[in-house]
Structures are given as C-alpha cells and as structure tokens.
A and B are shown apart, each in its own frame.
Chain A
C-alpha cells in the first residue's frame, strides 16, 4: 500500500473513498455478471433441475394435466428390453470409439512431433474432420459404405477381404457408425496430445539417456508416457463424453436400426420426447444419459486426485 506515507487527513479521505469504491465494486460486479447469472439459471441449471423433476411425473407433451408418478418411468425403463439394448449399444459404441481415437491420436501426435518435415500438413489433415460438418460427412460415409459402389467395399474387395452392407447389417451397423466417430475424434485427441508433448521438459529425455534409457521405446516408457498422464486422462474424458452424445450419424444414416442395432441413448430420448411426445419418459432417459456423463467426470476427478498424490 502506498498511502501509508501520506499525511493523516489525506489518508482519511482515501479510506472513505476506498469504502465507497468497494460498494461501487460490489454493484458493478453484479451488474456485469447479472445477465450471465440469470441466463445460466434460465437456460442451463433451471432446465436441468426441471428435467429431473419431470422424470418423476406422467406428463405427455401438450396435456393439460400432470401428476406425480414416482419411479414409474424408471420402472418402465427397467422392464423394457429396448432400453437395455439401447444402453448396451451406447456403451459398446463408447468402448469402441474411445480407445481407438485415443491411441490413434497419441500415435499421430508422437509421429508428427518426432520430425519437422510436413508437420503442418499432417496436423491440418488429421484435424480437418474435427471442424467439418459431421452431418454432411455422414452422408459421404453413407456413400462410401454403399454395398456395391462404395469406396470401402471396393477397397476391401480389392485386397480380398469380406464385404457386407455395413450400415444395413445388424452385426456391423454400430461399428460402421463407430468408424465415423473415430474418424472425427482422432484429430481432437491428436492436438491435445501434441500440447501435452510440448509441455514435457527436454532435459528429462537427457536425464533418461544418462540413466541408460536408450532407444525410442525405453524413452517412451520412462518419460513420455508417465509425463502424458494428465493429458491422457483429459483426452479420454472428453472423448468419452462426446461419444456418449452420439446422435447425428444415427439419425441420418440408420434411424436406430436395423432392428434397433444402433439405437443409442440420445436417439431414444429424441424419439420418445419429440416424435412420441412422451416428455416424462424422455426426461427419465435424459437423467440416465446425464448420469453416465457425470460418472465419467467423477472418475476423471478421482483419478486426477490419485495422480497428484503420487506427484
């Protein structure tokens, strides 16, 4: 504080001005943050509370009456074979997309950073799918998956591998959508890993070399991988949350079929809520969806805590 050296009277004025300044600061802060405060409640937190409350009622969209239904929606869900298949499909999709996009993204990041030639080109090529309109690209994939003239079957037939109508075959449709998901997610995990790699201090590699860690694999095992821990955790979390949100490709390419083979949580919620107008049941599905997304975050936080304990 510079006003310590000031004469008494001046410091009193300064003090009074400071008190007035503090009140003004309180007011200014509320005025500045006010619109955001209101909008967060109206558009985000309020509706989230509302969706939970709605899931315990029997309301159908447009009906004048609404009654408390307790756990009825959740009971109906538990008794519905379609719900369990939807859940299985969603988890299978996530379990397929997350490891593949994380490992391929990590591999791409390491290889891109391991040299300087064409670095910018590779980074752009891998990242381009992240910014492109998934819906338009889904239609391109529909053409690429075409049973007779699609590039994928042409390529597979060329090297003598079996072909099928990927999006219409119940055994392959979910994985065909998964391929699109991986294609779009690799670039994101790649750039996040590149940021993680750049944050590793170079002298760690020299120290490891002094300790006798020669060869690319030893360096990776002893330095790169442990140092990438936090980045990996973040990439896995963000990819998992995004995979749980799979919707666009299902809606335009398979419509949940064939035979419910690609029915996923959000698609089921969309159908119940906006096609059949069963708002309360759709709200219950939303709560389950939110539960999974929050679970991913809780796991991330727990693992992060453990990591910092070691650090």
Chain B
C-alpha cells in the first residue's frame, strides 16, 4: 500500500489535507494562549494577530491566580484525581486478579456485574448518589467527589483482560516460594501488569481531571472546586468580558494534562487503544 501511494502528488495531497486538519485541531489552543498574552484592547481589535503588540502576559496570569484561587483549584485537581486513582487501583487490581486467575464460586456472577457496570453511564447514578451523600452529610466535601469514583469497572475489565495473558506458571512459582495471594497481587501481578496499570492511570487521570458534571452537582464552595468547576466560577465572576485573565486561567488548567500528554504520548494513545480491544 505504501509503495504504491508514495508518489509526489499523493504526498502533497496527504500533507495538504492533514496540515489543514492539524491547523484546525490546534487553532483553539493557539487562540487560547494568544489571547492570554494580550491586553483587552488588542483582544477586541477587529483583526486577529497571533502575538500581542503590547505584552500583557504577566498581568493576565497574575490576575488569573489572584482574583480567584486558581492555584487552589489546580491543587484540588491533583488531590481528587490522585485519591480516586489510588482507590480505583486498590479495589480493581485484586478483583481483576481473582476474576482472571482464581477458581471460585461467584466468579461468573462477579464478571457479569462488571459487564453490567460498563453499560451504565456515570450520570445515571447522580440523583440516588446525591441523596445518599446528603443523608450522610457529605455534600460539599472532597469525599463527595471521590466516593462515587472509588470503583472503576472499566479498570477491573482492562486489568482482567491483561491478567488472562499472564502465564499460570508465574503464579504457581510464587506460591511454591511461599507467597500469599496478597503478596502475589501486589508484588507479582502489579509489576507484570504495568502497561495496563499505566494505561488505566492515564485514562482515570484524564477523565477525572476533566470531569465537570459531578463536581458541579456536589460542590458549592469555591475552595473545594476542581479545575473545570473553578474556571466556571471564574467565567461567571468575570461575566464573559475579561477574556485575557479567563484565557490565562483556561491555559493554566489545561496545561498539566497537555504537558503530560506531550511527554508520554505513547501511553495515552495506547491506553485509549486498549479500550478498543474488547
């Protein structure tokens, strides 16, 4: 296929179409950073320029970080995503091992529950979970954001598929060495499954950093807001007129994921692709 279509004409066509596509895909990021560097006079100028005539970056970014607790939002993002992934791994990894490698009554039922769980979009459980957290007096706390995500059926499924490919001999050898099941899960299976664990971690991080619906439902206090929710507080406080600091804030909360993605592209793309290997 490649040898046939490597004519100069085809190469020009390929780069022409993909180049235009890439420009369109990246344009919002370019606009975002560009606006975050400009004073408001230039933002509302009738023609668009990539770079500002008068640099206003310092003012916009310091405004973004002082008018609203933006650093706090970002810190909350790390706290929440970190706590969620830790819980998900602690519950998913042993369960996936039991599903893939142990023989027990209830295994089929458990796997069926996981498959059922995969069918349910997260928003479906919002109303009952809101009522539950209200009963427990946990609304408007970190726990309210974290608790519903402590279980990831997707993670269980992904790790189980991976564990199925691990040879039984490895586990039997560990048992002969006197290791218990817990030690096998954490000292043998987890290191073996690192590619799947990383893929799962990346997807969990992306999903929970960007999640907006659930924090919007359970969080009212500014100091508990996750990054997306924080930006909305910001946008409504500025009433959609002060684009410079707003775009600076948007850049700041998008930056961690974009930097992580550019640094570890292969893991991100492999992680997403792994979801397709159903």
Contact = CB atoms under 8 A, between A and B. Distances in A.
Nearest to A142: B240
Nearest to B33: A140
Contact of B269 (A44, A122, A127, A231): A127
A247 B273 contact: no
B1 A219 contact: yes
A40 B262 CA distance: 34
A244 B116 CA distance: 19
Interface size grouping (class) on chain A:
35 or more
Nearest to B252: A136
B125 A32 contact: no
Nearest to A235: B276
B235 interface: yes
Nearest to B151: A39
A154 B31 CA distance: 13
A192 B273 contact: yes
A26 B104 contact: yes
A186 B32 contact: no
A141 interface: yes
A47 B257 contact: no
A44 B117 contact: yes
B106 interface: yes
B66 interface: no
Interface string A23-57: 00110111111011101110111111011001000
Interface residues of B, number: 102
B2 A54 contact: no
B231 A135 contact: yes
B27 interface: yes
B94 A133 contact: no
B102 interface: yes
A173 interface: no
A144 interface: yes
A111 B257 contact: no
Interface string B118-136: 0111011111111110000
Contacts of B275: 238
B170 interface: no
Contacts of A195: 273, 276
A29 B25 contact: no
A210 interface: no
Interface string B224-267: 00011001100100001001001101110110011001100100
Contact of A266 (B110, B123, B153, B253): B123
B98 A111 contact: no
A96 interface: no
A85 interface: no
Nearest to B118: A297
B92 interface: yes
The 4 lowest CB-CB distance pairs between A and B, nearest first, are A36-B95, A29-B104, A47-B125, A32-B94
Interface of B: 1-2, 4-6, 10-11, 14-15, 17-18, 21-22, 24-29, 31-32, 35, 43-48, 90-92, 94-95, 97-99, 102-107, 110, 113-114, 116-117, 119-121, 123-132, 147-148, 150-151, 153, 156, 181-182, 185, 206, 209-210, 212-213, 216-217, 227-228, 231-232, 235, 240, 243, 246-247, 249-251, 253-254, 257-258, 261-262, 265, 268-269, 272-273, 275-276, 278
Given A47-B128, A48-B124, A142-B240, 8 more contacts: A33-B94, A43-B147, A51-B125, A115-B5, A127-B268, A128-B26, A137-B28, A269-B123
